[in-house]
Amino acid sequence: MNPEPAACYRPRAALFGLVASLTLATAAHADCVDGVRAATAAELDFAQRATAALIAGLPEAVRPLERRSASRPDPAEVPRLSACRDTPVGAFSPATGVGFMYDFPPAEATARSAQRRQLQRQIEELEKLPPDQEAQRKEIEAQMRAAYAAAPTRSRKDPPFTPEQQAQADRANTEGRRLEQAARQVQFDHNARVKPQTDALRVRADELQQGPQIFSVGLEMNVQQFPQGAGNRAVLTFGAPSAKRSAALQPRNIVVTIEGPAGPAREALLGLIDRDYLQGLLDKPAPGVPVSRQRIESSSARAAAAAPLVIASSVPLGAASSAPPAVAAPAATAAGTATPTATAGTAPSAARDPCPPAATVQTADATRTGSQVGAEVGGAAVGGGWGRNLGSAIGGALGALGGTAKKTEAAPVATVDCPR
C-alpha cells in the first residue's frame, strides 16, 4: 500500500494519525507556522514496533468469517512521521485495521428472506387506505378527470385556440392539477398516520437483510479519549485514556472497535480478539517486529487448522410463520459505565438485564434513522447488508437502535460499553 504524504497539525490538535495503511493522515505542512521537525529515532522505533504489535493482535479469519483482503498489513513497514516544530515527542496514536465478511448459511438466508417479505406485506397492508378514505380518493380522482375533460382540445390540423379557449384550457388544467394533488394527499396523510408502525416494521425488515454482513476491525493505541459503543459499533478498551498519547513511548491503552451489524456474527468476531495478549502489551516496551511477525505466523497457522465457528442463527429457521412478527417499541437511550469482560456473549434484548455478568460482551442495539428508509431499497436490490455496506449510493446507511455508553477511566482492564 502506498504511503500517504506526511504532514502536521498546530499545537493542541492531533499531531499524528496512524491509520491502517501504517501511514500518517494529517494536515498540510502549511499549517505549521514555525515549520516542521523530523520524527526522532525513538518515535520512529516505537511507532513501528507498536504498529507491528497491533497488527499481531488483529483477529484471524476462522470459518465462516472471512477476511475481505487476502493479506493483512505488513508489520515491517516503516511509518512516515513528521510534526510541527513545537509539538511534543510522542503526540501520535499508532493504529491498524482489517475487514471481515460473513455469509449467512443458505437455510438462514432463506428464512430471513421469507420473514422480510412477510414484513413488507404487513407494511403494504398498513398503508392501504381504509374503505372510507379510498372512496374519498376515488371521488377526488373522478372530479380531477372531469376537470381535465372540461378543457377544450384540438388536433395539429385545427387552428390555434382563441384567447377565450386558451383561458378555459388553463383553468381546467389548473383545477385538474389541484385535484390530482388532493387525491395524492389523502394517501400521504394516511401514510403519515401509520408511520410509527411502518417505521418499526422497516427496522425489523432491515435487520433481516440476507446478503453478506461486512465488518471492520480497528486497533488503536494511546488514544486520548475512548470511543463509545453504540448501534453498529462495539468497543473493547484496555488500560486508561492517555492525555499525552504516546509521550512515554510505551503502550498505555488499546482500543478495539468493530463496526458492523449487531448480532451473532459480530459477537463471534469479538470472541476472536485475544484480550490477554492486548492487555499484556500495556505499560512496558512494545515487542520487536520479529516477535510480532512470529506471533502472526503462529496464530495464522492455528486459525487455519481450527474448527469452523458455530454462529447461531438470529432468526427461526424453517417456513415463515403466518402470524405477524411483533413490532418492538424503540428503546430509550441510556448511558452507562464500562464493565470488565472476558468472552463474547449474546446481543442485548428487552427481556433480560442490559448489563449481564462480566463474562459477556455487551454491545448496543441499533437506532432507526431517516436515512435507513433508503437502505431498505438498497438492501433489497443488492442483497441486504451487502447493498447497505457498499455505501449510500445504493440506498442509505445502517442506522443505530439503542443507547450510548460512557467509559470509566478505571484500572487497566479490558472493558466494553454497557448501557445502564
Do 273 and 179 lie in one domain? The reply is no
Single-letter amino acid, residue 364: A
Identify whether 348 is part of a domain.
no
Q: How far apart are CA 17 and CA 37, in angstroms?
A: 16
Do 148 and 50 lie in one domain? The reply is no
Do 177 and 267 lie in one domain? The reply is no
**Are the CB atoms for 89 and 66 separated by under 8 Å?**
no
Do 99 and 230 lie in one domain? The reply is yes
Do 162 and 222 lie in one domain? The reply is no
Encode pLDDT of 57-79 as tens digits: 999 999 999 998 877 788 888 77
Identify whether 384 is part of a domain.
no
Do 217 and 315 lie in one domain? The reply is yes
**Are the CB atoms for 179 and 171 separated by under 8 Å?**
no
Do 88 and 237 lie in one domain? The reply is yes
Do 93 and 221 lie in one domain? The reply is yes
Domain C-terminal end among 327, 357, 380 = 327
Contacts of 69-75 with C-beta under 8 Å, sequence gap 24+, read 69/98, 69/99, 72/98, 72/296, 73/1, 73/20, 73/21, 73/22, 73/97, 73/98, 74/22, 75/51, 75/289, 75/292, 75/293, 75/296
- Predicted local distance difference test score (pLDDT) of residue 209: 78
Do 160 and 36 lie in one domain? The reply is no
Identify whether 128 is part of a domain.
yes
**DSSP E strand boundaries for 252-325:** 253-259
| Domain around 254 | 29-104+211-327
Encode pLDDT of 191-205 as tens digits: 999 999 999 999 888
Domain C-terminal end among 180, 207, 234 = 207
Tell me how many domains the chain contains.
2
Q: Supply the DSSP symbol for 3.
A: P
- Predicted local distance difference test score (pLDDT) of residue 8: 35
Identify whether 148 is part of a domain.
yes
- Predicted local distance difference test score (pLDDT) of residue 27: 38
Single-letter amino acid, residue 325: P
Identify whether 417 is part of a domain.
no
Do 287 and 245 lie in one domain? The reply is yes
User: Which residues of the chain are under the pLDDT cut of 70?
Assistant: 1-30, 317-420
- Predicted local distance difference test score (pLDDT) of residue 229: 85
Domain C-terminal end among 327, 343, 360 = 327
